Every structure is written in structure tokens, then in C-alpha cells.
């Protein structure tokens, strides 16, 4: 079962994770992206997300279907916030279930990388003195190259 949702409401992470529960799965992974207060020395008071919703939903569904096939997922759920997201609140939740943990971890990471690059959802960072749009290339996209996920696993599964 697949779930893609764009919402102005707070994300209930336990609901997103429960959506991927299955007797067929040996592993479930949930990733949450939260608004952090400090980014490269800049204070953030909140983030604002905007989307072209019809296309964003279609692209999320396309990525989700691709991940299910590529990583042999049992279930997958993607929920992204729109509007104002305060520091500490969840802006995106990706939950997956798979037979084995390697596929679950790799697929969640792959989905987040693809969502940031391919889905028309735009992020604006706001603080007391300025507000500016954040481009994915200028954000934490380099995390995939920091070694936190083994290259062998990435090469094998991607």
C-alpha cells in the first residue's frame, strides 16, 4: 500500500510509520526532516514550504513507485508539510518497510535525495532579519557523500 500526502497540518510520525507496518516486512525505517534552528551559522525562526500541488503529488507518487520496484519495498509512505514549519517540527516524513534492513535504509535515503531534487516543493528560510529561498544544491544534499551510508551498499542497491 502506498501513501503520498501534502499537508498544512503537523505530521503524525507514528501514523506514517504505522501505515507501512506489514507481516511481510522484516524492517521498517522512518526518516523525518525537522526544522533546525541553526544552519551554517544562520539562525532559522521557521521554514515555509510551497508547492505546485498537482505536480508535486504526481512526482512523489512516481518516486514512490520507483523506490518500491528498485528496493523491493513492501510499503512506502511519504508525507510533506506545506506552509509554516516551526523549529523542531517535522517538515517531511518518509517511512518504508522491506524484507531486509539494507533495502529499507537505502530506499529512505534515496527517496529523500530524489524528493529534494525532483519534486516541485520550495523551501524559504526565515529569521528576524531576512527571508530567502533555499535551493537543494545549497542545502544538505552533500550528506549523501559524507560516508554515513556505505558506498558499497549504495552501489549494490542503486
pLDDT digits (tens, 9 = 90+) for 70-82: 999 999 999 999 9
User: Can you give the residue ranges of every domain in the chain?
Assistant: 2-129
Which pLDDT does position 102 carry in this prediction?
Answer: 97
Q: Please give the C-alpha separations between residue 42 and each of 77, 86, 96, in angstroms, as whole numbers.
A: 32, 15, 32
> pLDDT band for position 152 (50/70/90)?
very low
Q: Is the separation of the CB atoms in 11 and 81 below 8 Å?
A: yes
pLDDT (tens digit, 9 = 90+) per residue, 5-41? 999 999 999 999 999 999 999 999 999 999 999 988 8
Q: Please give the C-alpha separations between residue 147 and each of 36, 109, 144, in angstroms, as whole numbers.
A: 22, 13, 7
Which pLDDT does position 137 carry in this prediction?
Answer: 58
Report the Cα 120 to chain-centroid distance in Å: 13
Whether the pLDDT of residue 84 is over 80: the answer is yes
**Backbone dihedral region for residue 46 (phi beyond 0: left; psi -120 to 50: alpha; all else: beta):** beta
Between helix 53-71 and helix 101-118 the angle, nearest 10°, is 150
> pLDDT band for position 145 (50/70/90)?
very low
Which pLDDT does position 39 carry in this prediction?
Answer: 84
Which pLDDT does position 1 carry in this prediction?
Answer: 62
Architecture of domain 2-129: Alpha-Beta Complex (3.90)
Q: Where are the beta strands (DSSP E) in 2-120?
A: 2-7, 27-34, 38-39, 42-43, 46-51, 73-81, 83-86, 90-98
Q: Where are the beta strands (DSSP E) in 24-72?
A: 27-34, 38-39, 42-43, 46-51
Amino acid at each position: 500500500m502506498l501513501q503520498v500526502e501534502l499537508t498544512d497540518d503537523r505530521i503524525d510520525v507514528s501514523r506514517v510509520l504505522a501505515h507501512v507496518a506489514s507481516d511481510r516486512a522484516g524492517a521498517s525505517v522512518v526518516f523525518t526532516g525537522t526544522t533546525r534552528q541553526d544552519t551554517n551559522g544562520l539562525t532559522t525562526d521557521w521554514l515555509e514550504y510551497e508547492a505546485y500541488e498537482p505536480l508535486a503529488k504526481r512526482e512523489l507518487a512516481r518516486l514512490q513507485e520507483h523506490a518500491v520496484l528498485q528496493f523491493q519495498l513492501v510499503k512506502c509512505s511519504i508525507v510533506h508539510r506545506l506552509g509554516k514549519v516551526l523549529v523542531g517540527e517535522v517538515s517531511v516524513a518518509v517511512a518504508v518497510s522491506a524484507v531486509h534492513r539494507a533495502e529499507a535504509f537505502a530506499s529512505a535515503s534515496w527517496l529523500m535525495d530524489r524528493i529534494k531534487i525532483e519534486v516541485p516543493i520550495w523551501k524559504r528560510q526565515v529569521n528576524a532579519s531576512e527571508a530567502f529561498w533555499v535551493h537543494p544544491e545549497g542545502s544538505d544534499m552533500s550528506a549523501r557523500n559524507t560516508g554515513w551510508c556505505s558506498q558499497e551498499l549504495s552501489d549494490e542497491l542503486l
